[in-house]
Chains A and B, each alone.
Chain A
């Protein structure tokens, strides 16, 4: 059974600081996704990582994937309050590709304080 573990599960940080969220998974996969969820809202896709060594950046967020270590990271640079949200990583091991039947981590609840 695929297990996806995120840490930390809760993170409070100050604006302007840098931090990294980690996502470990238990079964070989080369497809990993990061989503953001604001309170009471649905999930918004942030990054799709499809190969070992993949790195993607959008604004202050950068995600990477190491399939050999079964590890993905989401790095936050110079955090701003608007990045406060819950961040989920999700892994897909379905053959043939396509984002179906994802297994999600428990999420990292991020609070960024002025």
Chain B
């Protein structure tokens, strides 16, 4: 079975631009979460979506937004990019309501803002 897939794998953008990152969850998983991992740090929670609705939001500015589609795939959008947005963006899927289920992470999109 395919795992969580993310695209693109790498991206270089200029300050002020916007970016869209994409994620397809594991088949059967209805929950998708997004995390930002800055070099040398642990992942930081951005959003969680389930059945196309936002279930949780981390401490990120409104420049960050996301959505989930009927097929449970998801997009993360970041507007007005700043140098500090350079990071590895991880998407994870899980079985909602499954108490024993860990998050399954994709390989991430490495965003560089210049």
Contacts and interface: CB of A to CB of B under 8 A. Distances in A.
B33 A100 contact: yes
A76 B43 CA distance: 23
B96 A98 contact: yes
A106 B101 CA distance: 22
A99 B97 CA distance: 9
- Is chain B's interface secondary structure helix, strand, loop, or mixed overall? loop
A7 B113 CA distance: 31
Given A48-B100, A50-B100, A99-B94, 16 more contacts: A42-B105, A42-B106, A43-B105, A44-B105, A45-B102, A48-B102, A50-B99, A90-B43, A94-B56, A96-B97, A98-B94, A98-B95, A100-B94, A101-B56, A104-B42, A106-B42
17 contacts: A33-B102, A33-B103, A35-B102, A35-B105, A50-B99, A88-B43, A90-B43, A94-B56, A98-B31, A98-B94, A98-B98, A98-B99, A102-B103, A103-B45, A104-B42, A106-B41, A107-B42
